[in-house]
Every structure is written in C-alpha cells, then in structure tokens.
Amino acid sequence: MDKSGRMKIVIVCIAVVIALASLIVSQFLIDDMKEEERKKMEIWASAMQIMSNADSNADMTLVLKVLNGNNTIPVVVLDGDGMVQDWRNLDLGRKDSLASLHRQVARICAGGKNIRFYLNDSQGNVDHGQFVDVYYDDSLLLRRLAMYPYVQLGVVVIFVAIAALLLANMKKTEQNRVWVGLSKETAHQLGTPISSLMAWQELMAEQHPGDEAVAEMGKDIEVLRTVVDRFSKIGSEPELEVCDITEIIAGRAAYISRRISNKITVECLPPPHHVKALVSHPLFEWVIENLCKNAADAMDGTGKITLTHGKADGKVWVEVADNGKGIPKSRFKTVFTPGYTTKKRGWGLGLSLSRRIIKDYHKGRIFVKSSELGKGTVFRIELKDVRV
C-alpha cells in the first residue's frame, strides 16, 4: 500500500475514534438526564400520592406546585383497573383525541417506566389492594439529545464526503492543468528544432541522394513530428475517426521491434478480418507504443511481446502480453498512478498517460487483465465497437 493509501486509513481511523468518543460522551449525558428525570417523577408520584390520600382540610399548595411544575415529561396516571385518571404533556393532535390518547397511553405503558403507590383505606392505613400506576416517558429534550449525536455524525460524514470530493476534483483539475501545460510546452519547444532538422535533412538528401543514413534520419524526424503532434493534442478534444486497428497495431509492432533489444521478439497475431474502431490515430498508436515499451522494460532485455486484438460483446479489445517479471495483484491499479515506476530512471508517466488517453478521450477502459510473478502480464484495452 502506498503512502497516500496509508494516510487515508489513518484519517478514517481517527474519524472513527472521534465518532465513538462523541457517542460515548453523549450516552453518559443521556444516562444522567434519564436519572434526573426519574428522580423528578418519583417526587411527582409522591406528590400525587399525598394528594390522593389527603383529607379535604389539608393544605395542598406545595403539592399542587409540584404537580403543575411538570411541563416536559409525558406522564399517564392509571388506577388499579387500568383506567386513565390523569395525563400530562401528551401530544394528542387535533383529530380523534380519544383514540390518540389510547395510543399514547399504550405506547408509554409499553415502555415499562412506571412508579406505583398505594392508597389509604377509610382508617388511613395503606391498602395494598388499591394502587395507582404512574407511567412516564422520556421528555422531548431527552429524545432530541439522544438523536443529536447521530444527526451530528451524519452531517459530519456528509461534510467530509463533500470536502473529499471537492479536494479530489481540485487535485484532478490541477493535475490536468499540469499535464496540459507540460504537453503544450513540450510540443512548442520541439517545433522549432524539428523544422530546422527537416530543412537540414532535405538539404543532405539533395547532396547525398540514396544515402541510407539520410533516409533513416528522415524517418526519425517523422517520428519526432508524430511525437509533437501527440503532445499538441493533449488537453484538447481530439478528433476521433474510424481507423483500422489492425494496421495501427501491426505498424507499431514493427516500429517497436526495431527499437528494442534484438533478444525481445514482438509478435502480432491479427484476427482473420481487419478490425476498425473510432479512435484518434496518433494518440491510440501512442498507447500501443507505451504498452510495448512497458512490456520490454519488464523483461530485462530478453523475452517475447505478443499483441492480439479482436471484437467481442460489442467491444473492440486489444491485449499486450509479455513474459516478464509480472505485477503483484495489489499493484494492478497502482501502476496507472502518475509517478509509479520500477525503473531507476523514468518519470512513471507512460501507463498513466495511456489510461488518460483511453479513458478520457476514447471513453474506454485499460487495465491489467492478468499477471503472475515471474511469468508475465497482460494489459487489455476495451473500446466501443463502431457498429454498436
């Protein structure tokens, strides 16, 4: 796992710890409030018991003050027969209040939080056969407090997700600008010396007609012109046209075979019929070159590169296989990251640039189809069939 991946895991772990700590602290607060409300209801039930057992001459001022002081905790008072004697702080709504009352009573009683006190008989003694049950529920404030940590966490998660998405888009936009700026500047800087080389090559061709070295120089200058053309297309929408994929692959295979070790064999296995696809000719052949060069680098100067292509399931596919050292499965996606390279020299941009060309400009896919350490790797390109 790369440094960026480890950093993401660390950030996620820190976020999880913060979330758990927030939930734990909130739970402690909720438990304290529940205990406080339970004590208040015990006092309220005691006041109700005093009022129920008091005679007509007793001063009930303080008792009534306690009973009327409950303006937040929902409470229902039931007699021994289960009949509703009183209720407080219940939201019965505007319609069918009686049915709503029964629903609220059933809900609160199902919660199981109740306080029972016994009434006195005619002689003033406690009659255990006559009792009153006081059922109560959590206050609205307590219920909101219980929900608040989850709402808070949800908002934080959404905020972090949006921030991460924006940062990723900003990073991608910045990378795109760097890519485009570097490509345009490279094309611009190469333009003048290539024009000069072309003039010198024409002059030498006139003075030394038939010279093979001059002819080869002309081919290399043409390659440089192709490179400039490729770089100039980066950052702008390329013009796609129906091209013969079979011819492009065959041409690139022949070109690569002349410019790598003679101990590496480049084999092109075309299908029975030519395959066509909607591509940018200079950019697509650049991708094939990058894959072939990458395969050659993986074989340390000895081996075989095999290029195959065809049509299947409405797609045009191209595969570049080698019998090099292979890629660990954990690196299948990392190899397309800018800067990733196993060579001592190089910028690690070939595969990243290839993915950008195939994905962004051709709306296709490029990926590691298979790889085995010590046996080789197969890269696969998939494009939409022009007939689909």
> Per residue in 56-71, pLDDT tens?
677 778 888 888 888 8
Does the pLDDT of residue 321 top 90, yes or no? yes
Q: Which of 54-63, 178-187, 283-292, 297-306 is the least confident region?
A: 178-187
Q: Among candidates 376, 383, 190, which has minimal Cα distance to 296?
A: 376
- Which pLDDT belongs to residue 214? 82
**The overall pTM is greater than 0.85:** no
Q: Which residues, 6 or more positions from 38, have their beta carbon under 8 angstroms from its beta carbon?
A: 113
Query: Which range (6-15, 44-53, 301-310) has the least confidence?
Result: 6-15
Residue 248 has pLDDT above 90, yes or no: yes
The per-residue pLDDT for 41 is 85
Quick check: 339 pLDDT over 70?
Answer: no
> With pLDDT > 70 as the criterion, what percentage of the chain qualifies?
87
Average pLDDT over the chain, rounded to an integer? 81
- What average pLDDT does range 181-199 have in this prediction? 76
Kindly indicate the confidence band of residue 366, based on its pLDDT and cuts at 50, 70 and 90.
very high
Tell how far CA 361 is from the center of its chain.
23
The whole-angstrom separation of Cα 129 and Cα 126 is 9
Q: Give the confidence band of 123 by pLDDT, cuts at 50, 70, 90.
A: low
Q: What is the distance, to the nearest Å, from the Cα of residue 103 to the centroid of all Cα atoms in its chain?
A: 44
- pLDDT value at residue 341: 63
Contact predicate 134/43, CB 8 Å: no
Which residue(s) pair with 153 in the sheet?
none
Share in percent of the chain as helix, strand, coil (round to 5): 55, 20, 25
Residue 342 pLDDT > 90: no
For the chain, which residues make up each domain, given as ranges?
A: 3-138, 237-384
Model pLDDT, residue 56: 67
pLDDT band for 18, please (50, 70, 90 cuts): confident
More confident position, 44 or 164: 44
Which CATH number applies to 237-384? 3.30.565.10
Higher-pLDDT residue of 381 and 177 is 381
Top pLDDT among 2 and 164 is at 164
More confident residue, 141 or 95: 141
Please say if the pLDDT value at position 388 is more than 50. no
- For residues 276-281, give the mean pLDDT: 91
In this predicted structure, the answer to whether residue 344 has a pLDDT above a threshold of 60 is no
Cβ-based neighbour number of residue 371 at 10 Å = 22
For range 356-367, the mean pLDDT? 90
Q: How many residues does the chain have?
A: 388
